[in-house]
Amino acid sequence: MATAIWLGVAAMLGAARLASAHGFDPALLDITEGEGGRYAVLWKRRPGPAALLPRFPAHCEPVGEPPRAVTSDPAPQYWQLACGAQGLGGATLTVDGLESRADVVVRVAWRDGRTTSGVLRFDTPILALPTGPASDGWAVLRSYVGLGIEHILLGLDHLLFVLGLLLLADGWGTLLRTITAFTAAHSLTLALAAFGVLALPPAPVDATIALSIVVLALELLREPGAAPTLARRAPWVVAFAFGLLHGLGFAGALAAVGLPPDHIPLALVAFNLGVELGQLVFVAAVLPAVGMAQRLGARRPLLGRVPAYAIGALAVAWTLERILAFGAAPS
């Protein structure tokens, strides 16, 4: 039994770099309509070996140097697209290489002020553009809910913090207050950051998020007979305080995607809803295991500490990695 648990810890530690290498980092295809059937195109390819390349309708031709599918330089590419009198209205857009499980956020800004947004992925590889001013609010809602779910389920640091909260909370009432406080806090800072009210550099935020998990792991490792701390007496207070930081992390991911100018409130609510749905799925999936770990800890304290050690070890590695990356972070 003990051997199996420690093997599981080793597997989690080995996954740390894998988790950081496969985070939420979509490509971006941003198109702005100009005059005479011309469109300005920004293509920001995600890092990695995937040969992603936008594919436009046959009547559209790139002006100047065409985009490249594979490049050692992940810097954004810019070019003009000439689509003639037919334009892009009513056309479909896709991206080659989506079979690599990459995501591409697409935004089209029309001359009349409308914005069409969508997310291309393996299971939804085509975005149909409207021919007129019909609202695409449903597409925005669907796309940003999916992005929120994906971000939380790929964010191992956020999930480990939630797992730590589940292990810390004692009883259903405490658990409900703790998860609610965490949700309220990260929803607040996500909204403030999305509307430009609050702005902090992403590198220190990411490092502090990892450090919050270290603090939570240390609390889980306290002796059972020790004097109760604030985290034990009122874990929802700690959840709210650290949830404010995690909300800034969610905001950083949302900033990489952007918000459609004509559907900012809807996209923000949809992204946050997706985060909450993903979080609920995770909580429902791990609650039985959390209950088993708590019962095991009551009978065999040494084995009961294994989850806390695993969480703390990962968090320490992330904290050091993110602090060391400060110098390489863009200003």
* Cβ atoms within 10 Å, residue 84: 11
* Residue 130 to residue 135: CA distance in whole angstroms: 9
Q: Kindly report the backbone phi and psi dihedral angles of residue 182, in degrees, each rounded to the nearest multiple of 5, phi listed first.
A: -65, -45
Over 90: is that where the pLDDT of 49 sits?
no
Tokens of 133: 């001013």
Across 63-67, 79-83, 230-234, least confident range: 63-67
DSSP state of 255: H
What residue type is assigned to position 162 of the chain?
V
Confidence of residue 298 (pLDDT cuts 50, 70, 90): low
**How many CB atoms neighbour CB 189 within 10 A?**
22
Q: 177: which 2 tokens?
A: 């207050």
* pLDDT value at residue 12: 46
Residue 321 · residue 211 · CB < 8 Å: no
Mean pLDDT of the 321-326 span: 84
CATH of domain 27-134: 2.60.40
Q: Exposed/middle/buried for 291, CB within 10 Å: 0-12, 13-18, 19+?
A: exposed
Question: Does the pLDDT value for residue 9 go beyond 70?
Answer: no
Is residue 125 within 8 A of residue 95, CB to CB? The reply is: yes
Using DSSP's 3-state secondary structure scheme, residue 47 falls into coil
In this predicted model, what pLDDT tens digit does every residue of 215-266 receive, in sequence order? 999 988 887 677 778 888 888 999 999 999 999 988 887 777 777 766 788 8
Domain range list for the chain: 27-134, 150-328
Q: DSSP string of 55-72? A: E--TT-EEESSPP-SS-S
Backbone angles phi, psi at 121, to 5 degrees: -145, -175
